[in-house]
Structure formats: C-alpha cells, structure tokens
C-alpha cells in the first residue's frame, strides 16, 4: 500500500497541508515517509458533519450488517499483511512478535463484538407488560433498550497501535453499536494509522454502509483534538493516554454548552502487595514474574506494577535481591518515542535525588541513547519515604518500579487507604493470607477496577468479564471499562417506550424475540417470546 499522508474523511482523501511531521523509527531515529500534517478545523467540521449524516443509516442497519462490517475490518487488517506489521514495528520500536500478537488481539476483538451484536443480548432489552386492571392504578406497558448515542471521537494510545488505536476497542465497539467514529490518529505512528484507516474505509464499502461512518484525522499537538472534543456534533469521546491529556479533554467537554462524556483511561501505579505466606513460599518465583511484568513492553503498559509493598524482614530482603538479580539480566529496549524515553529518564533521575530511596538493581547493559532505549531500574525504600514524597507515587511510564518495606500490616493498610483510584492492584499470598489480611482486600475493593491474585496485571484478557478502568484518576468514569465487551456501554444510552403497539417498537423490544436474545421480561431473564 502506498501511503500518502492524507486524512481520510468519509472516504475522501484530503491531502496534508500546513504544519508537517513524520513518523520516526525510535530504534534508528530515522524519519519515515510520507509527511503528515495537522487536520484543520474545516476538516474536523467535514468529518463530523459526515458522521452525523451517516448516523441514521448506520444505527438502523441490521445487526447482521454491522457485524459483517467488523468481520470485514478484521479481513482487511489481515489483508494488509507483513507491510502493516513492518510499519508498526518501525514506528513504535515494538518487536515484530509483539505487533503480530497485538494484531491478533485487534482482529479477535472485531470477531468478539461481531458475535456480541449477532446474539443481541447486549442491548439489555427489558419488557414490562401492561396490567390494565391493576388496583389501585393500571400498570402501563413499559419497555427499554440501549440505543447508540451518535458521533464518537476516539484518541488512540501510543502504546497499542492496533488494539487501542484506529481499529481498537473504542472504534470497533462504537461502530458495531451504530455510532459513527472520527479517530484522531496518534502522531507517534501515523503510517500505521493510515493503513488501518484505509482498511476501515474499504470494509465500509464492502458491506455498503455509508462512508461518513468513519474518518481519520491526523494531528500532532492539542489543537485538532480539542476542536473534535468541542465540536457540537460530537456526542462522546474515548481516550487512552496520560492523565494530563485525559483531564484536559474532560475539562473541555465539561465546559461545552452541552457537556458530553469523555471516557478516559489515564493510567495507574498498580500496587502489588506481597503477603508473608507468599514471601515464605516462593519469593524467588514472584520476583522473576514481577521483573517480567515491569519490563513487558519496555514498561509501557498502564497496568505496569510501579510499587511493591511487603512486610519488613529477611524474606522481603531476599525478594529485593532476587528482583535486583533479574533486573540486571534485562537488556535495554527501544521505547515508543523520544518524548516517552526522556520522560522516563527524567522521572527516574528525580527519584534518585530522594534521600532514603536506593537503586537496588538495573540492566547490566547500558541503554543506547541513539536507539531511544530504556534500562530496567528497580528501587527500594521504606514506607515513610514513599509517603513523604508524592513524586514516588506518580506513574513514571517505563520499566521501573519501587519495592517498599512496611513495618506492620496496619502501615500497609494505611497506605492502601491513602491510594488514589487505580486500574488494578495485585495480591500475592496464600489462601490463608487472604483470611489473615482480609481488611486489605476490603480496602482495595474501594480503590481499584481489577484485583489480581497471584499474578500480574500486564496482559489483559479481552472477555465479557474484563473491567479495565477504575476510580479517578485511573479513569474518568469508574463504572465503565475500555477493554472487553462491556466497553460497548460507553456508546449507548437507554431509551424507554411506553404504550407503543408492537409494530412500532424497535426489533429487540417486540413480542417476537427474533434473534432469541436474552431479555428481562416481567422481571425474569428469558430467551422466549414476550
Ligand atoms: P498522551 O500524551 O496523553 O496522548 C494521547 C493522545 O491524546 C494523542 O493523540 C495526543 O495528541 C492527544 N492529547 C494529549 N493531550 C491533549 C490535549 N491536551 N488536547 C488535545 N489532545 C491531546 O499519551 P501518549 O502519547 O500515549 O503517551 C504519553 C504518556 O501517556 C506516557 O508517558 C504515559 O504516561 C501515558 N500513557 C498512558 C497510557 C494508558 O494506558 N493509560 C497509555 C499510553 C501512555 P498529541 O500527541 O498530538 O498531543
């Protein structure tokens, strides 16, 4: 495929103009062709007007057609073949094995949402039949179902070019729900964005859905993203990235005449509590798994375990030395882009100025600056130092982590109580530890979106039960997930019909349960006709 740098607006190519930028290979610092440029506010207008124009056709298309769109997107992604993987690898520095695996996840997500929409139960149809002779008042016929909200703006993340990007969860579940999508491409991998955007354009043509259902606008800097969030036709925003970026978009959306939701997933420090039983039983194994998790994807995961807490003692000391030994063996790797690498080095350099924080171990090999590499760095400290220094409790994106000695369980609990909202927390222990330390679990339930026992949070399973979110500042709305099939609920809202004849109701609410979806009829779940 020849890349042109064009914005893709409702199937029309709009040549780049104005302020140009390029993708850059972080491993070589080589500039990658072609040039991309910031979309203008006119282009944002055009994309959103087309999205609004496509909304009725998309939402009223049959579930089979929308499912076929996702199948077609999956096919078009695969049809891009090796050149897509090579471009993503060049633009992100992520190894070929990783980008290949992530492409599999993106294609799998398309299939999962296609199956969801074909089954139909996701629409949460509820039917309460009328009881005209109820005393003292008759009960009306009331029915409720989820409906798509309209044009959605999606910001992809730098660290998941496929699974949280142009064809990531946000985009595919919005399209399948019936919401047109305008994607703001990530400037760190614009060529990958263009290839994937062209795949979506082709898929729309293939299934005969309106071209306005999808646009891709490139841009570097805040202007075009802000214009999209403030645009009066935008109904909701999906974002994965930094707290600073997510918060700016949330504030802009709240200031609109008609505020709209911004579903932002903004990262986390993901504390790990290593309880005494586990330390006694398998300190070395946990340490190995921990370093594997800290360094997975060069630490560029929002589920990276940034802080470990354990009770002071010889076993924790052994754990620190095991972790340090594993850290030395980790080869430095290229990060996604120079900005992230510089932020990592600056963040850990600030940590090193803090009294009471020690470097326990780091990659033996030196990181090559020209290859935008980061070395693994594992620190150790005490709870009073962690509590006294706010910067140690802020996410530093990259392969670093701090192991913290807690004097007593009460101290550990106090720290857990002081945590801000987190995406995840991990507990390593025995079943007996969970009984002995039950109060810790009770505190963490209030703080996080996902609790993990005897494993690490990196490597998210995409499934119906997954929750990837959490209380602010991990995410903007703790109720919603950005990964897994439940993420579709960000793009729909309930609409209630009272007293309508069967023939005028949307299909999921009619008496005949055409697709045998699970529905709540008069208070009972059933796949039968109502
Ligand atoms: P980011 O800087 O927050 O950017 C994400 C997207 O949002 C980009 O397209 C960016 O555009 C746009 N954006 C950011 N701030 C904006 C603003 N104020 N107004 C309008 N648009 C805005 O995230 P990133 O590039 O993926 O990585 C940078 C940092 O984010 C990392 O160092 C890490 O701390 C964090 N991060 C978190 C996660 C996570 O899963 N939560 C994932 C990746 C990164 P421009 O780049 O063009 O400004």
User: Is any ligand 1 atom within 6 A of the Cβ of residue 424?
Assistant: no
Please report whether residue 469 resides in a domain.
no
User: Is any ligand 1 atom within 6 A of the Cβ of residue 241?
Assistant: yes
Pocket test for ligand 1, best of 237, 241, 255, 397 (most atoms within 8 A of CB): 241
pLDDT of residue 482: 98
Please report whether residue 21 resides in a domain.
yes
Please report whether residue 441 resides in a domain.
yes
pLDDT of residue 221: 87
End-to-end CA, the chain: 51
Please report whether residue 359 resides in a domain.
yes
User: Is any ligand 1 atom within 6 A of the Cβ of residue 92?
Assistant: no
Q: Are strands 181-184 and 214-217 parallel, antiparallel or unpaired?
A: parallel
Dihedral angle of Cα 170, 172, 178, 182, to the nearest 10 degrees: 60
Please report whether residue 84 resides in a domain.
yes
Instruction: Please tell me the distance between residue 454's alpha carbon and the centre of ligand 1 in angstroms.
Output: 31
Is there a contact between 154 and 111 (Cβ–Cβ < 8 Å)? no
Q: How many angstroms separate the CA atoms of 296 and 139, rounded?
A: 57
Residues 196 and 74 in one domain: yes
Nearest Cα to 311, choosing from 428, 156, 217?
428
Residue positions annotated with a catalytic role: 265, 302
Q: Please name the residue whose Cα sits nearest to atom 19 of ligand 1.
A: 222
Residues 383 and 328 in one domain: yes
User: Is any ligand 1 atom within 6 A of the Cβ of residue 221?
Assistant: yes
Tell me how many domains the chain contains.
Answer: 2
Q: How many angstroms separate the CA atoms of 333 and 337, rounded?
A: 12
Pocket test for ligand 1, best of 21, 183, 245 (most atoms within 8 A of CB): 245
User: Is any ligand 1 atom within 6 A of the Cβ of residue 266?
Assistant: yes
Residue 63: cis peptide before it, omega within 30 degrees of 0: no
Q: What is the CATH number of the domain that holds 225?
A: 3.40.605.10
Q: Give the helix ranges, DSSP H, for 269-377.
A: 276-295, 314-328, 338-352
Q: Please name the residue whose Cα sits nearest to atom 5 of ligand 1.
A: 241
pLDDT tens, residue by residue, 100-146: 999 999 999 999 999 999 999 999 999 999 999 999 999 999 999 99
Q: How far is CA 314 from the centre of its chain?
A: 38
Q: Please name the residue whose Cα sits nearest to atom 20 of ligand 1.
A: 222
The model carries a pTM of: 0.96
Please report whether residue 510 resides in a domain.
no
158 CA: nearest ligand 1 atom: 26
Residues 293 and 259 in one domain: no
Please report whether residue 331 resides in a domain.
yes
Instruction: Please tell me the distance between residue 15's alpha carbon and the centre of ligand 1 in angstroms.
Output: 25
Which residues form the domain of 325? 272-453
Q: What is the CATH number of the domain that holds 427?
A: 3.40.309.10
Which DSSP helix (H) or strand (E) runs through 248?
A: helix 243-255
Residues 224 and 365 in one domain: no
302 CA: nearest ligand 1 atom: 40
Classify residue 437 by its DSSP letter. Answer: T
Is there a contact between 449 and 468 (Cβ–Cβ < 8 Å)? yes
Instruction: Please tell me the distance between residue 188's alpha carbon and the centre of ligand 1 in angstroms.
Output: 10
Residues 361 and 214 in one domain: no
Please name the residues in contact with 418: beta carbons below 8 A apart, sequence gap of 6 or more.
387
CB-CB neighbours of 477 under 10 Å? 16
Tens of each residue's pLDDT in the chain, 530 residues? 899 999 999 999 999 998 899 999 999 999 999 999 999 999 999 999 999 999 999 999 999 999 999 999 999 999 999 999 999 999 999 999 999 999 999 999 999 999 999 999 999 999 999 999 999 999 999 999 999 999 999 999 999 999 999 999 999 999 999 999 999 999 999 999 999 999 999 999 999 999 999 999 999 989 999 999 999 999 999 999 999 999 999 999 999 999 999 999 998 999 999 999 999 999 999 999 999 999 999 999 999 999 999 999 999 999 999 999 999 999 999 999 999 999 999 999 999 999 999 999 999 999 999 999 999 999 999 999 999 999 999 999 999 999 999 999 999 999 999 999 999 999 999 999 999 999 999 999 999 999 999 999 999 999 999 999 999 999 999 999 999 999 999 999 999 999 999 999 999 999 999 999 999 999 999 999 99
Pocket test for ligand 1, best of 19, 228, 242 (most atoms within 8 A of CB): 242
Q: How many angstroms separate the CA atoms of 248 and 42, rounded?
A: 22
Which token pair is 407?
Answer: 């004097």
The phi, psi pair for 372, rounded to 5°, reads 55, 40
User: Is any ligand 1 atom within 6 A of the Cβ of residue 339?
Assistant: no
Residues 80 and 146 in one domain: yes
Q: Are strands 519-521 and 524-526 parallel, antiparallel or unpaired?
A: antiparallel
CB-CB neighbours of 82 under 10 Å? 10
Which token pair is 28?
Answer: 């070589």
Residues 22 and 40 in one domain: yes
Residue ending a domain, among 437, 453, 469, is 453
CB-CB neighbours of 42 under 10 Å? 10
Instruction: Please tell me the distance between residue 241's alpha carbon and the centre of ligand 1 in angstroms.
Output: 4
Q: Please name the residue whose Cα sits nearest to atom 35 of ligand 1.
A: 242
At residue 491, the 3 state secondary structure works out as helix
Please name the residues in contact with 195: beta carbons below 8 A apart, sequence gap of 6 or more.
1, 3, 80, 83, 84, 87
Residues 399 and 438 in one domain: yes
Residues 109 and 223 in one domain: yes
Dihedral angle of Cα 340, 353, 272, 447, to the nearest 10 degrees: -80
User: Is any ligand 1 atom within 6 A of the Cβ of residue 473?
Assistant: no
In Å, what is the CA distance from 129 to each residue of 120, 132, 140, 141? 21, 9, 7, 5
User: Is any ligand 1 atom within 6 A of the Cβ of residue 187?
Assistant: yes
Q: How many angstroms separate the CA atoms of 151 and 51, rounded?
A: 6
State the DSSP string of 415-426: HHHH---EEEEE
pLDDT of residue 267: 83
Is there a contact between 527 and 513 (Cβ–Cβ < 8 Å)? yes
Residues 251 and 382 in one domain: no
Q: Give the helix ranges, DSSP H, for 446-512.
A: none
Residues 386 and 252 in one domain: no
Q: Please name the residue whose Cα sits nearest to atom 8 of ligand 1.
A: 186
CB-CB neighbours of 365 under 10 Å? 13
pLDDT tens, residue by residue, 255-274: 999 999 999 999 899 999 99
Please report whether residue 427 resides in a domain.
yes
Which token pair is 293?
Answer: 């998790």
Residues 305 and 395 in one domain: yes
């Amino acid at each position: 495929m020849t890349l042109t740098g064009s914005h893709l607006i409702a199937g029309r190519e709009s040549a780049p103009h104005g302020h140009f930028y390029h993708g850059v290979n972080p491993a070589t610092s080589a500039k990658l062709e072609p040039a991309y440029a910031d979309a203008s506010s006119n282009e944002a207008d055009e994309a959103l007007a087309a999205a609004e124009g496509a909304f009725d056709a998309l939402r009223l298309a049959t579930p089979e057609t929308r499912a076929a769109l996702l199948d077609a997107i999956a096919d078009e992604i695969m049809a891009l073949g090796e050149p897509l993987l090579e471009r993503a690898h060049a633009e992100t520095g992520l190894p070929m094995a990783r980008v290949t695996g992530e492409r599999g996840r993106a294609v799998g997500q398309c299939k999962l949402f296609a199956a969801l929409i074909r089954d139909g139960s996701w629409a949460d149809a509820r039917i309460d039949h009328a009881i005209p002779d109820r005393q003292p008042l008759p009960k009306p016929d009331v029915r409720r179902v989820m409906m798509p909200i309209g044009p959605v703006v999606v910001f992809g993340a730098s660290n998941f070019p496929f699974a949280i990007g142009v064809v990531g969860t946000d985009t595919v579940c919005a399209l399948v729900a019936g919401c047109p999508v305008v994607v703001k491409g990530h400037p760190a991998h614009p060529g990958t964005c263009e290839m994937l955007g062209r795949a979506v354009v082709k898929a729309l043509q293939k299934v005969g859905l309106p071209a306005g259902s999808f646009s891709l606008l490139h841009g570097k800097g805040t202007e075009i993203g802000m214009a999209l969030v403030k645009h009066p036709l935008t109904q909701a925003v999906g974002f994965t990235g930094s707290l600073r970026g997510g918060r700016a978009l949330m504030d802009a959306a709240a200031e609109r005449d008609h505020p709209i939701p911004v579903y932002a997933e903004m990262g986390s420090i993901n504390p790990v509590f290593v309880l005494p039983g586990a330390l006694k039983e398998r300190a070395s194994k946990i340490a190995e798994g921990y370093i594997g998790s800290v360094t997975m994807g060069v630490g560029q995961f929002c589920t990276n375990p940034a802080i470990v807490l354990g009770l002071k003692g010889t076993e924790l000391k052994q754990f620190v030395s095991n972790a340090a030994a594993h850290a030395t063996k980790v080869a430095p790797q290229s990060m996604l882009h120079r900005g992230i690498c510089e932020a990592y080095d600056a963040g850990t350099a600030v940590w090193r100025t803090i009294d009471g924080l020690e470097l326990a171990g780091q990659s033996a090999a030196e990181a090559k600056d020209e290859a935008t590499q980061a070395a693994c760095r594992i620190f150790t400290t005490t709870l009073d130092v962690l509590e006294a220094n706010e910067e140690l409790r802020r996410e530093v994106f990259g392969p670093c982590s701090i192991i913290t000695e807690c004097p007593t369980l009460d101290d550990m609990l106090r720290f857990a109580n002081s945590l801000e909202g987190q995406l995840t927390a991990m507990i390593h222990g025995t079943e007996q530890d969970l009984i002995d330390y039950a109060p810790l679990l009770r505190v963490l339930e209030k703080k996080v979106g996902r609790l993990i026992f005897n494993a690490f949070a990196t490597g998210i399973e995409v499934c119906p039960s997954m929750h990837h979110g959490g209380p602010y500042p991990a995410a903007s709305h703790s109720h919603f997930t950005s990964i897994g099939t439940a993420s579709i609920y960000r793009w729909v809202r309930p609409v209630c019909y009272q007293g309508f004849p069967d023939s005028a109701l949307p299909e999921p609410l009619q008496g005949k349960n055409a697709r045998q979806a699970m529905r709540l009829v008069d208070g009972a779940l059933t796949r039968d006709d109502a």
